[in-house]
A = this chain, B = another copy of it.
C-alpha cells in the first residue's frame, strides 16, 4: 500500500501560515491552502479531518516547536540574568526566523477555534520556565510577585517587540536586542 507523505504535512502547515499572514482568517480557505501546498483539495482531508482539526494541529505543532527552540541545550548553571537573556534572545530569534508563526499563535491563542484541551496541551512544554522563575524568585533575583505577573511581563514584551519589529518601528540587531532586554530585565529584577 501507498504510504502518506510526511512532507505534505509540512507543506500544508507552511501554506496555512502563509495564507494566514497574507489574507487573514477568512482568506484562508481549504481550497487556497491546498493550492498553495501544491496538492488537491481532497488530499487535505486525508491528512486532517477538517479545517478545525488542521488549525488545532498546527497550533500544537508550533507551540511544541517554540518550546523546543526555547529550551533545547539551555544551560541552567549560569547567572540568572544571563539565563533570562538567553531565553529572551532565543524567543526573539525564533519569532524573527518566521513572523508567520508568531502571527498565527497570537491570533489563535485565545480564539474559540482552539479547543481547550489543545490549549492545555500546548502549555505543558513551557512548564520548566515556570520552575526557573520560581527559583529565581526564591533567590531574590526576581521581584517577589506571583509568577503570572512575571510570565505576563515576559510575554507582553516579547509579543509587542516582535510586532514592532515586524512593522519596522524597531530595528532588530545586537544593539536593539540589548535595549529591549534591558527594559525587560528592569521590569523583572528585584
Contact = CB atoms under 8 A, between A and B. Distances in A.
Interface of A: 22-27, 103, 107, 110-113, 143, 145-146, 148-149, 151-153, 155-161, 163-164, 167, 169-170, 179-180, 182-184, 186-189
Main secondary structure of the interface of A (DSSP, over half): helix
Contacts of A188: 183
Nearest to A146: B170
The quantity of this chain's copies bound in the complex is 2
A170 B149 contact: yes
B153 A157 contact: yes
Contacts of A160: 152-153, 155-156, 159
A149 B111 CA distance: 28
Given A146-B170, A157-B153, A27 B112 contact: yes
A75 to B, nearest CB: 26
Contacts of A182: 143
